[in-house]
């Protein structure tokens, strides 16, 4: 690394402060120490390890509650599935959870929801419940009730709290409560929701639960009430990598979540661009262009899946909101979102770089030190620009798709 390039990278990353976007605090400190010492290969290895860790990070969510509380419907909703989709949790009225049941997210398999049997049943007595369902392995817990939370719920909550794990209470089927209350002359939705929320909190506090977090949700209006706030809270209570994994998997059915998805993906752009920069520093021009295209295609595919713009996600959303897939696709403007191909990515790469610069970069990359440094800098900047541009496009497309889905639609 030359002194000029060392200064360039030091200035670039120091503007973010002690914690770099998308890296943990420990990774950030290790990365910046390496850059300041001129050990760029060491800095690159930190980012590569972080990227590999991110790809292999799993988020395990435990869901529990009484029969008929809406556990299965909640599990389906947060995985962006309809109750009759393939792979959906069964929503029969009779008890279906006889043992812990695993439900991976269909598009983001590293996010796994576990439907746990209730505590205090003959097969799962309170004294041995922790060991029987392996409570220690989950990242956080959600206890669901369609009415009043029970003594068994409070008992389980205390056990979870004693483990130092995060716990959230979900009061389901609030749409039913609101429909019943609407018959009253003085009906007010906000006041009704506040009464339900306060009642739940009072029950739990009387049972000995300190500062319970209660969220009101409806399976059929999963974009409303406390659902967006619940999803943000779940993600924000996780560490850097798990937070990113969960946010990308959350349903794209609220504008708040779409904004969080964009922010999370933006934080990773510089790490992806750094891959391009590293490859460009190798004096093999054809390899650099090939890898640039691969990096672009891989990330664009991730963006589309995260925003629910892939075919399977659009089909599920269309079914949920009683729209046709063609209606939803009609508002997607990005050509790459419609068809992510290497040819289209290469075309955009040429447009972003400029034909003259593509040629210059080709020859510069074989010049030791100075030439490879310029080629690396060019690759970093162009990849950053392209990913930011495409992310803006798909984020706007996702907003348009959501508005189209909500447009005059009645849910099943």
pLDDT for 360: 40
- How far is C-alpha 342 from the geometric centre of its chain's CA atoms? 25
Please identify which residue in the block is written with the tokens 């992510």: 340
Q: For residue 252, what pLDDT is reported?
A: 92
Cα end-to-end span (Å), the chain? 60
34-43, 103-112, 133-142, 199-208: segment of lowest average pLDDT: 34-43
User: Would you state the torsion angle of the CA atoms of residues 292, 297, 298, 301, taken in this order, to the nearest 10 degrees?
Assistant: 160
What pLDDT sits at residue 335?
Answer: 82
**Mind listing the pLDDT tens digit for each residue in 236-273?**
999 999 999 999 999 999 999 999 999 999 999 988 88
- What is the Cα–Cα distance from 233 to 34, expressed in whole angstroms? 34
Q: Which of 1-5, 107-111, 120-124, 213-217 has the lowest mean pLDDT?
A: 1-5
The pLDDT of residue 68: 81
Q: Which residue has the higher pLDDT, 345 or 307?
A: 307
Give per-residue pLDDT as tens, 307-328. 999 999 999 999 989 999 999 9
Q: Are 264 and 244 in contact (CB under 8 A)?
A: yes
Distance CA 392, CA 28 (A): 26
Answer yes or no: is pLDDT of 92 > 80: no
Q: State the pLDDT confidence band at 208, using cuts at 50, 70 and 90.
A: very high
| Neighbour order of strands in the sheet with 101-104 | 101-104, 111-115, 59-65, 140-145, 166-171, 214-216
Q: Which of 273, 200, 191, 223 is nearest to 13 (CA)?
A: 273
Give the pTM. 0.85
H or E segment to which residue 379 belongs = helix 370-406
Q: Give the helix ranges, DSSP H, for 15-110.
A: 25-36, 40-56, 71-78
pLDDT for the residue 367: 40
Q: Are strands 140-145 and 166-171 parallel, antiparallel or unpaired?
A: parallel
Measured CA distances, 261 to 67, 252, 364 (Å): 33, 9, 37
214 vs 208: CA distance, rounded Å: 15
Burial bucket for residue 50 (CB in 10 Å: 0-12, 13-18, 19+): buried
Q: What's the pLDDT tens digit per position in 324-341?
A: 999 999 999 988 787 777
Better pLDDT: 364 or 41: 41
Q: Kindly report the average pLDDT of the chain as a whole number.
A: 83
Contact 193, 215 (CB under 8 A): no
Contact (Cβ atoms closer than 8 angstroms) between residue 304 and residue 311? no
- Average pLDDT rounded to a whole number, residues 191-212: 93
Q: For position 18, what pLDDT does the model report?
A: 67
**Predicted pLDDT of residue 59:** 97
* DSSP state letter for 284: -
Report whether 309 contacts 332 (CB < 8 A). Answer: yes
Kindly report, residue by residue over 1-49, the tens digit of the pLDDT. 444 455 555 666 666 666 788 899 999 889 888 877 878 788 888 989 9
Is the predicted pLDDT of residue 167 greater than 50, yes or no?
Answer: yes
Q: What is the pLDDT of residue 361?
A: 45
């Amino acid at each position: 690394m030359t002194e000029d390039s060392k200064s360039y990278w030091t200035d670039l990353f120091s503007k973010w402060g002690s914690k770099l976007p998308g890296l943990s605090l420990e990774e950030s400190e290790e990365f910046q120490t390496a850059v300041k010492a001129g050990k760029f290969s060491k800095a690159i290895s930190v980012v590569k390890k972080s990227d590999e860790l991110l790809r292999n990070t799993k988020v395990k969510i435990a869901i529990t509650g009484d029969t008929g509380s809406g556990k299965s419907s909640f599990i389906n909703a947060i995985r962006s599935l309809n109750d009759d989709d393939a792979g959906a949790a069964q929503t029969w009225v009779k008890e279906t959870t006889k043992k812990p049941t695993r439900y991976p997210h269909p598009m983001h398999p590293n996010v796994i929801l576990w439907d746990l049997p209730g505590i205090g049943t003959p097969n799962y007595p309170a004294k041995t419940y922790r060991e029987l369902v392996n409570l220690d392995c989950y990242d956080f817990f959600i206890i669901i009730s369609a009415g009043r939370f029970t003594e068994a719920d409070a008992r389980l909550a205390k056990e979870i709290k004693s483990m130092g794990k995060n716990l959230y209470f979900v009061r389901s089927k609030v749409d039913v409560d609101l429909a019943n209350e609407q018959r009253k002359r003085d009906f007010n939705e906000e006041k009704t929701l506040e009464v339900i929320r306060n009642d739940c909190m009072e029950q739990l506090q009387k049972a000995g639960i300190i500062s319970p977090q209660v969220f009101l949700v409806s399976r059929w209006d999963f974009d409303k009430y406390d659902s967006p706030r619940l999803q943000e809270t779940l993600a924000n209570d996780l560490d850097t990598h798990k937070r990113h994994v969960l946010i990308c998997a959350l349903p794209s059915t609220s504008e708040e979540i779409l904004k969080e998805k964009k922010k999370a993906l933006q934080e990773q752009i510089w790490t992806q661009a750094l891959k391009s920069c590293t490859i460009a520093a190798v004096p093999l021009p054809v390899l650099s262009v090939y890898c640039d295209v691969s990096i672009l295609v891989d990330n664009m595919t991730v963006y589309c899946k995260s925003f629910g713009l892939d075919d399977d996600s659009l089909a599920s959303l269309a079914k949920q909101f009683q729209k046709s897939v063609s209606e939803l696709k009609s508002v997607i403007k990005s050509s790459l979102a419609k068809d992510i191909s290497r040819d289209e990515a290469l075309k955009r790469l040429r447009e972003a770089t400029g034909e003259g610069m593509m040629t210059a970069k080709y020859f510069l990359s074989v010049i030791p030190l100075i030439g490879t440094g310029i080629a690396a800098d060019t690759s970093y900047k162009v990849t950053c620009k392209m990913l930011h541009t495409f992310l803006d496009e798909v984020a706007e497309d996702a907003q348009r798709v959501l508005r189209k889905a909500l447009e005059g639609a009645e849910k099943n």
